Amino acid sequence: RRDLQKALDEILAGKPVSDPISKEFGCSIRRAN
């Protein structure tokens, strides 16, 4: 859960995310917004 939160922070900060799962998660978040 902490890794996901960190990845979410990176996504919201506009940083590239190396973890593919987090990347897909971020794409779905971007679509939802």
Range 2-31 average pLDDT: 74
Domain ranges of the chain: 2-32
Q: How high is the pLDDT of residue 3?
A: 82
The angle at the Cα of 8, spanning 21 to 16, to the nearest 5 degrees, equals 70
Range 2-15 average pLDDT: 79
3-state secondary structure 8-28: HHHHHCCCCCCCHHHHHHHHH
Range 8-17 average pLDDT: 75
Q: Are 7 and 19 in contact (CB under 8 A)?
A: yes
